[in-house]
Amino acid sequence: MRWVIGPLLTVLVATFLVALALDIAPGDPVAALAGNHPSPAHLAAIRHELGLDQSFLARYWSWLTGVLHGDLGRSISLRSGVGGAISARLPTTAFLVVYAGLLILVFGIGLGIIGGWFRRLSPAIAALTGLAIAIPAFVAAIVLVQVFALNLELFPAIGAGSGFVDRIWHLTLPAIALALAMSAYLAQISRAAIAAERDREHVVAARGRGMSNGMVFRRHVLRNAALPIITVSGVVVAGTISAAVVVESAFGIDGLGSLLVTSVSAKDYPVVQAIALILVLSFVLVTTAIDLLQRLLDPRIRETGRR
Amino acid sequence: MTELALRLPRAGASGIGRAIRALREADKLLLVSAFVCGLIVLIAIIGPWIAPHSANEGEVLSANLEPSGAHPFGTDSLGRDILSRVLVGARLSLIGPALVILACTVLGTTLAIGSAWFGGSVDKTVARVLDVLFAFPALLFAILAVAVLGEGFWAPVAALSIAYTPYMARIVRSLAVRERNLPYVEACRLSGFSAWRICAAHLLPNVWPIILAQATIGFGGALVDLAAISFLGLGVQPPSNEWGLMVADGRTALLNGWPQEALAAGAMIVITVVAFNVLGERLAAREEP
């Protein structure tokens, strides 16, 4: 039960803080809607329509009950339901995040295992990941566009594509840009975890008993190194959800992230609030899932309750 | 006194010989990365004076020039010298992350030592508040701050200062809890030292090198996040010179076939982040036996 209430409470407090912060923000969304020289009656009518004549707590409550019924409110600048605008863009962002997440897990853990297990490759992998970790997603994006879209003309430079194959083709460069630094970080953690386990006494003893290399790796090294690798995998994959904002803008992809940026610029707070809810919710979901997985895998955490 | 005596040079060892030996035993990566970091900070300080051209004024006729003797990195779409813009932009690109790291280090260390010292309900309350902050990815937090406070330099800096605090606090807390249980703290207490004096004069200096290493590594992260906010158009606004802004500017030029601006600014970001990351990691490695 603690695993449901705790995260839910966190999300609830987070949405309350977002709503409160947006409420005290200077600037009036009504003035932008009303056009030139609006009459006071017209302004009051718009305020009433948007619910701005109610108190903050009343508005937060009606927003919250609306969300629980699947209604995310009305966008001010799009003049349509927030839910519709978001559901049109959510699949693109989800596709990008899942694609990048897979790349991160495969390359991050893969390179980490190679660097940690094969001593000779370790320095090369350390140098490679040390460089890759310092490349921000938006810098990776412009370099990838220059090389693979403009010079080699292998992939498109902008857009998200339609249909599964076309989408993979369009989102490959964005996913690589998103995954680059994060998979390097995961590779560093995995490499350190595996290198630390490799030199422990029980591993040396297992080798001494004549156990094959592969068996030692699977039974004695990977199992013990799995915990930090899983923890960091979760942190990193959860981080991609918000980092996608930058990559979407860099590649002109019409996803949740680019909608968030335009909504912030346009002071379209219902949209900002809804996207913040989705991002925080998915972030908390992933981190909670990782916590649960850790307890399942490690009896020490299960019994003492804390790492 | 014996310690001092041991450090005295052996008879006969010349100054130069000692210097060479010290250099051979030193951590070369640490020295190189510290040198590069120092150089970048120097550029941030004197950039406007060493820039060969104006960073803000350009000739429209000399727009999008390829790198040449007069313009080593070429010119941008408005004919401004890219090298000059990179040099001048260092200041704004580095001040932001420096402020973020300063603020989150002070805030995080205070919270962490406080909660480690008092324990119990203080510790629990701080942990709860930090848990809520953890639910906001740093970048999202900064974007929301821009939504509330408006675009510019300060909103993302303030937001990242808060968003980075839990990470710093979590590291320092675990160090401080370990220190707190060491005998010297009890000895200080029995000597009648105040809690404030024990924490500030004895506990903090012991954990300080690790805090410094973490702050150095965090600087790279803050630089990337702030540059990303500028790239999105939510941070500092043109005509300011800042590397993230230059990458955004240069992106359009790059799609039209002139990649020099975006690549130059991007390269500066990557070099800076690598240098500070390596420096931080080497500093941290010195603390481990």
Per-residue pLDDT tens listing for chain B (289 residues)? 444 444 544 545 567 777 777 777 777 888 899 999 999 999 888 878 887 777 777 777 777 777 777 777 777 777 787 888 888 888 999 999 999 999 999 999 999 888 888 888 888 888 888 888 877 888 888 998 888 888 889 999 999 999 999 989 988 888 888 888 888 888 888 888 888 888 888 888 888 888 898 899 899 999 999 999 999 989 888 888 889 988 888 888 888 878 888 888 899 999 999 999 999 988 888 877 5
Instruction: Report yes or no on B23 lying in a domain.
Output: no
- pLDDT for B7 equals 52
Higher pLDDT, A209 or A48: A209
- pLDDT for A31 equals 67
Polymer length in residues for chain B: 289
Chain A from 160 to 219: CB within 8 A of any B CB: none
Q: Point out the residue among B139, B266, B277 whose CB comes nearest to the CB of A139.
A: B266
DSSP-assigned beta bridge partners for residue A114: none
Instruction: Report yes or no on B133 lying in a domain.
Output: yes
Residue closest to B93 by CA, chosen among B220, B242, B218: B242
Say how far apart CA B247 and CA B261 lie, in whole Å. Answer: 7
With an 8 Å Cβ cutoff, are B277 and A249 in contact? no
Q: Is A131 on the interface with B (CB under 8 A)?
A: yes
- pLDDT for B2 equals 45
Instruction: Report yes or no on B13 lying in a domain.
Output: no
Domain that holds residue B196: 28-43+75-287
Instruction: Report yes or no on B52 lying in a domain.
Output: no
With an 8 Å Cβ cutoff, are B140 and A245 in contact? yes
Q: What percent of chain A has pLDDT over 90?
A: 16
With residue A72 as reference, give the H or E element that holds it.
none
Q: Is A305 on the interface with B (CB under 8 A)?
A: no
For A132-180, what is each residue's pLDDT tens digit? 999 999 999 999 988 887 778 778 877 777 777 888 888 889 999 999 9
Instruction: Report yes or no on B90 lying in a domain.
Output: yes
Mean pLDDT of A252-256: 88
Classify B80 in phi/psi space as left (phi over 0), alpha (psi -120 to 50) or beta: beta
Chain B from 259 to 278: CB within 8 A of any A CB: 259, 262-263, 266, 269-270, 273-274, 277-278
- pLDDT for B261 equals 84
With an 8 Å Cβ cutoff, are A246 and B136 in contact? no
Q: Is A142 on the interface with B (CB under 8 A)?
A: yes
Q: Is A251 on the interface with B (CB under 8 A)?
A: no
Q: Does A34 have pLDDT greater than 60?
A: yes
Count of domains observed in chain B = 1
Domain ranges of chain A: 2-68, 86-306
Mean pLDDT of A225-245: 87
Per-residue burial over A270-304, b if 16 or more Cβ lie within 10 Å, else e, is: bbbbbbbbbbbbbbbebbbebbebbeeeeeeeeee
Q: Is A114 on the interface with B (CB under 8 A)?
A: no
- Residues of chain A with C-beta less than 8 angstroms from the C-beta of B227: 136, 138
Q: Tell me which amino acid residue A159 is.
A: G
* B205 prior amide bond cis, ω within 30: no
Residue closest to B284 by CA, chosen among B215, B216, B213, B220: B213
- Residues of chain A with C-beta less than 8 angstroms from the C-beta of B132: 10, 13-14, 17
Say how far apart CA A86 and CA B105 lie, in whole Å. Answer: 37
CATH dotted code for A86-306: 1.10.3720.10
Question: Which of the residue ranges A23-32, A55-64, B265-274 has the most confident prediction, judged by mean pLDDT?
Answer: B265-274
* Predicted structure pTM score: 0.87
Q: What is the CATH number of the domain that holds B278?
A: 1.10.3720.10
Residue B46 token pair:
């004197």
